[in-house]
Structure 1
Amino acid sequence: MENSPIIISFPIADRRTSFDFYTTGLGLSPLGEVADDGIPEPLQFQINDGVQLMLIPSGGFGWVVGNREVASSSQSETFISITADGESGVDDLIKKAQDAGATLVTAPAQQPWGYVGAFTDPDGHVWQVTAAAPPK
């Protein structure tokens, strides 16, 4: 299991909206073969060497996890944290995500744990962007 990638899965409302947001807003590269709609199926992105993001239409998401109800976009049980290069990297990524349709959750600011900001993707999933710690 050491070499197995971690795959984070989110329910989504619309494949095209999510594809456009994650490619344009976050600059992620999609994985897999392109389907008839021009979007890879399954819709996955490589976040880094060990983590992938899979986006599953809401109707199928609950089925995949044993017919569980999918949480509404206003509920968050988890959020994804990513690291940017310094404060300007946080500011830039938050702005780029907003330009692509993200909703600002918290404006970038200094917090006790570092310089951070957060946004939601078009389906309400929360992403926190943290500045890389300066070298010691």
Structure 2
Amino acid sequence: MPTTARGLHVSLPIADRTSSMRFYSDTFGFELVGEPAEDGVPEPLMFRLDQRTLLVLVPAGGFDWVLGDSRGLAPAGTSECLLGVEVGTEQEVVDLVARIRDSGGEVVAEPEHKPWGYTALCADPDGHVWQIGIEN
């Protein structure tokens, strides 16, 4: 019997809640979920990506605690997954890459035409890599 997923949560470890909140709000324009805690950041720190998908940003110590003793966080500079966001036009790719750069993210690969579409690779301040693009 297939699993019927009611929702999908993508969780990433982060170093700083405030800077991560600002980065994802200002750069991607993702919808923040929840009421602010004492530090002005919702707890848990989540963004609604669509009706069924949440991006959950967890301080690294808490993320490590959830994983338990049998698994640890990936070493810095290691990408275990590639997140992707599809936009509508080449100009939107260019504009989003510029916002990422201006917000403290890293441009890993500048926008360019590939066999599968117009794409760029960028990393958030914690090093999580995002592929930004449009498909052919």
TM-score by length of 1: 0.92
What secondary structure, in the 3-state scheme, does the structure 2 residue paired with 1:9 have? strand
What secondary structure, in the 3-state scheme, does the structure 1 residue paired with 2:46 have? strand
What secondary structure, in the 3-state scheme, does the structure 2 residue paired with 1:23 have? helix
Q: For 1:86-125, what per-residue CA distance to the aligned partner results, in whole angstroms no more than 9, with x for missing partners?
A: 1111111111111111100110000111100010000000
- The answer to whether 1:82 aligns with 2:92 is no
Number of aligned residue pairs: 133
Partner of 2:20: 18
Letter in 2 for 1:106: A
> What are structure 2's unaligned runs of at least 5 residues?
none
Q: For 1:31-83, what per-residue CA distance to the aligned partner results, in whole angstroms no more than 9, with x for missing partners?
A: 01210000000000011222110000000101112232111330001010110
Partner of 1:110: 113
What secondary structure, in the 3-state scheme, does the structure 1 residue paired with 2:96 have? helix
Correspondences of 1:49-88 after superposition (within 5 Å)? 49-67=51-69, 68-88=71-91
Partner of 1:28: 30
1:13–1:123 contact (8 Å) kept in structure 2: yes
State the distance in 2 between where 1:3 and 1:125 align. 24
State the distance in 2 between where 1:15 and 1:126 align. 18
Partner of 1:7: 9
Letter in 2 for 1:20: R
Work out which of the residue numbers 108, 122, 131 in structure 1 matches 2:134. Answer: 131
Runs of 4+ in 1 over 3 A off after TM superposition: none
Partner of 1:92: 95
What secondary structure, in the 3-state scheme, does the structure 1 residue paired with 2:26 have? helix
> What are structure 1's unaligned runs of at least 5 residues?
none
Query: Considering only aligned residues, what root-mean-square deviation do their CA atoms show, in Å?
Result: 1.3
Letter in 1 for 2:20: S
